[in-house]
Structure 1
Amino acid sequence: MTSLTYPDNVSSLADYIEQVLVRFADKPAYTALGQTLTFSQIDTYSRAFASYLRHHTDLQPGERIAIQLPNLIQNPIAVYGALRAGLVVVNTNPLYTEREMKHQFTDSGAKALVILSDLLPKFEAIKADTGIATVITTSATELLDPDSAPDIDGTTSLTVVLDKGSAQSLPSRPETQLDELCMLQYTGGTTGVSKGAALSHRNVLANSIQTLDRLGARFRDGKEVVVCPLPLYHIYAFTVCMMTFFAKGCQTILIPNPRDIDGFIHTLKPHKFTTFAGINTLFVGLGRHPEFAKLDFSELHLTLSGGTALTKGAVAIWKDVTGCSITEGYGLSETAPVLCFNNPGEEEIGTVGLPLTDTDIVLLDSHDNSVPEGESGQIAARGPQVMLGYWNRDDETAKVMTEDGFFKTGDVGEFTESGAVKIVDRLKDMILVSGFNVYPNEVEDVLTSHPDVMEAAVVGMPDDNSGERVCAFITTGKEIDTDALRAYCREHLTGYKVPKTITVLEELPKSTVGKILRRELRKAS
């Protein structure tokens, strides 16, 4: 029996959103490009957006709408509006190539698209191959200056959408069940073609409630100021920032381009932020920037990490600069996303914490049997946040689900004595050296503990003698003796885990979310 308590009169994520918009009407909701809108303004805009979709398009409830926007306030307006119109959201990376856009739009069967006008030429090149008939465009500054609204044949600007939508009332949504499809969240495609994780209203709603339960009373209603540099099209920021923190009446500061560290820091200067949602590479990059240390961290009491492994070096740098510890969690697109999360203020560093409420975690061997106590195995999870399956891919769904309903994550983990989950590594990234397992995360953690190493990535390469050899790639802000660094590794690692080669790069390949892409290093070597 579930121990989660769902809000009254909520049968869809749209109901949940509407209750929040009313409850915190006068509070600031989102800030971007120096502009702040209240929950009431977001309510007005998203209602108008939904009304336009219902009155001025042929879209029917349950059909898919792709949203391809960076971290601008237009993003939550479009997402909330689409859900309020009864549509299924398809989050789309603004940096996608034409090939990636075509795959996602055709695979999802999207009928509409909300897109930054700068990106429109890429869509125009593949439009004929998709089923998209409704295209809504927006410029980065459109909410600040309606005169900057794009005027492009065959598309409708957001300004026109909001004007037309506000002139008519929003029809009531068809009755929805929590277990109906709410959104398609496409996986990164690291193990083949990108697949759409089909998430229900219950998946996202439950995960929001589960995460709030773990955050506890120290996360205050209507008083938190959240920094969100992670892209809202990614499941981490989508659920944690745009649903969970939003539900507590937080003011969310959206960072459109976190790679512009100088601009990022300048954006934060006026704010006494209380919460920061980031990932390992961001903590290191900001923590080592001299201007970042000059910011006001007096109110910062919660820093969240997810999406990729958190290194001890990043934890130390962040704590030294901000005075705030990092609370690490773990999840995947297929789990909406959070499965485990540390108790804020009681972090067990090096782990991702205990499973959330109503979440069962088991460790499996290669035959889907539980491993003996104390051993590592593939993490498998069961709970209300686990996806319905992969969109139109029953074959792929069958590969990742056990007979008793556990989702196999592809990650290797182990339990600590406290019951917390410790991530060892991705199953597919494990390196086999003369029959011994080497997990890149462990080697990377040692490398980044060296004071001269900023970032590290470790991959396995074919070797005639040992099957595979350990190869490391690092970035550093100064001259470094790689032989001395290998000697440092020998002090902390068994011999077969020590990198055979260490290559210094100006930067490591990363995804748009900031994850280091080991596969790109394997290709280039």
Structure 2
Amino acid sequence: MFFINDQFYSKGDLHQQFERFDQMNVLRDCRKKRIAVCTNNVFDALALTLYIKENGGSVVPIHAATPRDAAIRVAHKSSSHILLFENFNSPILMINDRVEKQGVLVQMSSGTTGEPKCLERSWEDIQEEIDSYNKSLPVDKGTVPIIACPISHSYGLISGVLTALDRETNPIILHNLNPKYVLKKLMETPNHLLYASPAFIDTLTKLSPQDFSFHNVMTSGMLMSAKCLEDLKSKTNRVLQQYGCSEAGCIAINPDVQEPHEMGFPLGHFTLKAGQDKNDPKEVIVHGKRKVIHTNDIGYINDSGSLCLLGRRDDMINVAGLNVYPHEVEEVLLKAPHIQEVVAYKKPDAFAGERVCVQFVASSFMEEARLRDWCVKQLAPHQVPVEYTQVEKIPTLPNGKISRKLVGEMMGC
């Protein structure tokens, strides 16, 4: 049915685990309850999620690395009745008298642009996503998904695991994310589809042997730099990219990525509204059967019908009435010698309203004047950063994403 690292779990193993859950008092009438789960045991976590889904209950997956007190806070915030932590032997009961009206998957938004939010999606919505996703995914049944990302998030759980099980394909879920081990599993599985974050994929690309090639790679979560994509494409049969949000799951898939900003074509159960071209971008609005979602992303639909993203509306920098998209500034600086990572963010300015600043990681010391000269030659005046800060590591959120808001706050903006 599925692998976790090197261990295979059959339908029989899952059935035995379901029988164990049937005997747990706290899981009786789980259809009426909301159950939070946080454990390092990936099989327990996945089996419980599938059990609750099958019984029409509600589940709140919490990242396995979350400490106990933090997991309790998430359980409270998500209105859970029970928190099953670590080995499930000592369930933590919450004060909650509500009765669930329908089974839902509850997830916390990433908090990239603000306070994380509690988001709910019905199992009916999720099955609709699974059906539409599998119709749009350009791989055959023999392609094995290798999931090198947390299954507490929809990218790993829904796009990676649940869609594979629906295709009756045995996914490989990697709890051991040591890059050497992941590369070993990829080499052992030639016909693979790797699910991972752009940053981790870039690490694997750099560490992979010269004669190694990825078969299929799926990326999601944030825009990959042009340089990273170029390196990846040189070692990959096909690079895919998906775009989504916590409220809707996967929204679009690009079956063959040529440019990082091309997110691809909407899944069949959605229609999208955005700008008509790069010079007139607008917020991406998702229209589904039951809801309309304002994504807060800025983009446009190109001539081939593919959604192209320019960035988050909250991240956009308004310099004297002119919009600056951080990704465009970052792409220019990433082409400078010795630059390895860059993040552009906004800083209030008394004259222009906002100005562009950057943090960067480089392989050697870089003089600010040298970087400014580089930018002046390749960017419009309002796009040129006013501050350049060299750091050893750019701070990220627990899920690995970069928060421009967090970087700006750390720099006193």
1:413 maps to 299
> Superposition pairs for residues 404-483 of structure 1, below 5 Å?
405-450=291-336, 452-483=338-369
Letter in 1 for 2:283: Q
Letter in 1 for 2:165: F
Quote the Cα distance in structure 1 between the aligned partners of 2:241 and 2:326: 19
Cα distance, 1:466–1:497 mapped onto 2, change above 3 Å: same
Quote the Cα distance in structure 1 between the aligned partners of 2:407 and 2:103: 37
Report 1 or 2 for greater relative contact order, CA contacts < 8 Å, sequence distance ≥ 6.
1
| Per-residue deviation, 1:476 | 2.7
| Per-residue deviation, 1:353 | 0.8
> Superposition pairs for residues 187-336 of structure 1, below 5 Å?
187-216=109-138, 219-221=139-141, 223-258=142-177, 260-266=178-184, 268-289=186-207, 292-293=208-209, 296-297=212-213, 300-320=214-234, 322-335=235-248
Within the candidate set 357, 379, 384, 1:498 is matched to 384
Within the candidate set 248, 258, 264, 1:353 is matched to 264
Instruction: Show CA shifts across 1:222-248 (max 9, x none).
Output: x22222111111111111012112222
Cα distance, 1:413–1:276 mapped onto 2, change above 3 Å: same
| Per-residue deviation, 1:325 | 3.6
| Per-residue deviation, 1:480 | 3.7
Cα distance, 1:495–1:193 mapped onto 2, change above 3 Å: closer
2:105 maps to 183
Q: Name the SS of the counterpart of 1:475 in structure 2.
A: strand
Structure 2 length normalisation: TM-score?
Answer: 0.88
- Is contact 1:71–1:232 with CA below 8 Å preserved after alignment? no
Within the candidate set 59, 62, 77, 2:47 is matched to 77
Unaligned runs of 5+ in 2: none
Quote the Cα distance in structure 1 between the aligned partners of 2:65 and 2:312: 25
Structure 1 length normalisation: TM-score?
Answer: 0.70
Letter in 2 for 1:281: A
More strand by share: 2
Aligned length: 409
- Is contact 2:36–2:75 with CA below 8 Å preserved after alignment? yes
Whether 2:75 is the aligned partner of 1:111: answer no
Instruction: Show CA shifts across 1:26-45 (max 9, x none).
Output: xx52232x32223x245324
Quote the Cα distance in structure 1 between the aligned partners of 2:70 and 2:329: 33
| Per-residue deviation, 1:326 | 2.0
1:399 maps to none
| Per-residue deviation, 1:212 | 1.0
- Is contact 2:198–2:219 with CA below 8 Å preserved after alignment? yes
| Per-residue deviation, 1:374 | 5.8
Cα distance, 1:445–1:346 mapped onto 2, change above 3 Å: closer
| Per-residue deviation, 1:315 | 0.7
Quote the Cα distance in structure 2 between the aligned partners of 1:192 and 1:373: 27
Instruction: Show CA shifts across 1:284-307 (max 9, x none).
Output: 222222xx235743xx43211111
2:9 maps to 37
Whether 2:52 is the aligned partner of 1:52: answer no
| Per-residue deviation, 1:515 | 0.9
Instruction: Show CA shifts across 1:56-83 (max 9, x none).
Output: 7444413111121358233321211222
Identity of aligned residues (%): 20
| Per-residue deviation, 1:409 | 0.7
| Per-residue deviation, 1:105 | 1.2
Unaligned runs of 5+ in 1: 1-27, 134-175, 365-370, 387-404
Quote the Cα distance in structure 2 between the aligned partners of 1:407 and 1:362: 10
1:394 maps to none
Quote the Cα distance in structure 1 between the aligned partners of 2:105 and 2:402: 26
Cα distance, 1:346–1:470 mapped onto 2, change above 3 Å: closer
- Is contact 2:130–2:163 with CA below 8 Å preserved after alignment? yes
Instruction: Show CA shifts across 1:3-36 (max 9, x none).
Output: xxxxxxxxxxxxxxxxxxxxxxxxx52232x322
